[in-house]
Amino acid sequence: MTEPILQVRGLRVEFPLARGLVRAVDGASFELHRGEALGLVGESGSGKTMALRALVGLLPRQARPAGGEILFEGVDLSRVSAERLRQVRGHEIAMIFQEPLTALNPVMRVGDQIAEGPRVRLGHSRRQARERAIELMQQVGIPDPARRYEAYPHELSGGMQQRVMIAIALSLEPKVILCDEPTTALDVTIQDQILKLLESLRRKLEVSVLFVSHDLAVVAQTCQRVAVMYAGQVVETGPIDEVFREPRHPYTLSLLRSVPDVDVVRERLATIPGSPPDLAAPPSGCRFHPRCPFMQPDCTSGDFPLRPIGTERATACIHSEQCVQDVLREPVIAGG
């Protein structure tokens, strides 16, 4: 395995609210290696997007970083100046947002939005920046790029808007691209096209991709490794084929079992009982224990950090062998 380009250790993000201090991300740790795609998965509210935004200092106004390390090529971004973080953002670490129409400037031509980075950050002339923008539009599959350069965001389809966002992310030749559910608002056909485009660009440009999603099938199609988040914490990591075939945390197992499979006839879909915890007052011990089918008395107190399993996997479950035994009885259905 290649060396990590991004290492997140014990990351914490808090929201001070009237009902208490909400720890949206609470000690999350994961690594992104050079040239790979890592999927960050979990239910809505698990802390995926907050963790992603914390990496480049794009947290909501009411949120605040509360600890941990964000090591990018060995430098802790949580401790650098605001000016240095702005230099890293876009130029070395780029981000593709979930809703392209809200992320794009509605009164600025899409070509100019792509050209802005090379012109302002790289010192290109207007002509050079325009040529670079048209080149990028062609690279991400936008037909007739010279004509589409003049279009405004609302004149493009959702798929074309997302391709513009990808072109903007690539415009400064970053080493890492952060993707915040970039295909959620697209129909299935366009979603597949965007995912294949991202995979092709990752391979061609050797860029690292951190892909946030709640869709396990999308992550299986796009990523080589996965980190599973629950209630603000990372509870399992590893190569995606191994984790999806033989999960070692009950939450991962439950997520995979809840994915519908068209080849299997079931009277009812599998569900995860209960609800995610209130992050202003999370349960003691393992945060999944109130919903866990394998819960034991020792799950209700103490800390549950990730512990290694072999050389490439880790789990926060102290009874992970029960997951393996359950999989042997009923193989996991990972939904493609």
The one-digit pLDDT tens for each residue of the chain (336 residues) are: 678 999 999 999 999 988 889 999 999 999 999 999 999 999 988 999 999 999 999 999 899 999 999 999 999 999 999 999 999 998 999 999 888 888 999 999 999 999 999 999 999 999 999 999 999 999 999 999 999 999 999 999 999 999 999 999 999 999 999 999 988 878 888 889 999 999 999 999 999 999 999 889 889 989 999 999 999 999 999 999 999 999 999 999 999 988 876 566 666 777 889 999 999 999 999 999 999 999 999 999 999 999 999 889 999 999 999 888 888 788 886 554
Burial of residue 18 (CB within 10 Å: 0-12, 13-18, 19+) is exposed
Does residue 112 fall inside a structural domain?
yes
Q: What is the pLDDT of residue 90?
A: 87
The Cα–Cα gap between 272 and 78 comes to: 35
Q: How far apart (Å, rounded) are the C-alpha atoms in residues 190 and 134?
A: 21
Residue 265 is predicted with a pLDDT of 61
> So what's the pLDDT on residue 1?
62
For residue 3, the model assigns a pLDDT of 81
Domain boundary among the residues 135, 151, 173 is at 173
Q: Are 224 and 36 in contact (CB under 8 A)?
A: yes
Q: Which of 173, 194, 220 is the last residue of a domain?
A: 173
Rounded distance between C-alpha atoms, residue 263 and residue 267, angstroms: 13
Is 189 within a domain? no
Task: Pull the structure tokens for residue 104.
Answer: 């794009």
**Residue 336, pLDDT score:** 45
Instruction: State the pTM of this model.
Output: 0.92
Last residue of a domain, one of 128, 151, 173: 173
CA distances from 81 to 53, 86, 91, 335 (A): 17, 9, 16, 44
Query: Other CB atoms closer than 10 Å to residue 288's CB: what's the count?
Result: 27
Evaluate whether residue 293 is within a structural domain. Answer: yes
Asked, for residue 311, whether it belongs to a domain, the answer is: yes
Do the Cβ atoms of 26 and 233 come closer than 8 Å?
A: yes
Which H or E run contains 327?
Answer: helix 320-329
pLDDT the model gives residue 266? 64
Report the distance separating Cα 153 and Cα 148, nearest Å: 10
Q: Does residue 239 contact residue 313 with C-beta atoms inside 8 Å?
A: yes
**Domain assignment of residue 41, yes or no:** no
3-state SS track over 26-56: EEEEEEEECCCEEEEECCCCCCHHHHHHHHC
Q: Is residue 278 part of a domain?
A: yes
Q: Look at the chain and report how many structural domains it folds into.
A: 2
SS3 49: helix
**Enclosing domain of residue 325:** 249-329
In a domain, 65, yes or no: no
The answer to whether residue 235 sits within a structural domain is: no
- Reading across the β-sheet that carries 20-33, which strands appear in turn? 20-33, 4-17, 64-72, 75-76
Residue the block writes with tokens 């999603």:
213
Q: Are 90 and 117 in contact (CB under 8 A)?
A: yes
Check residue 267 and give its pLDDT. Answer: 63
Check: CB of residue 41 under 8 Å from CB of residue 213. yes
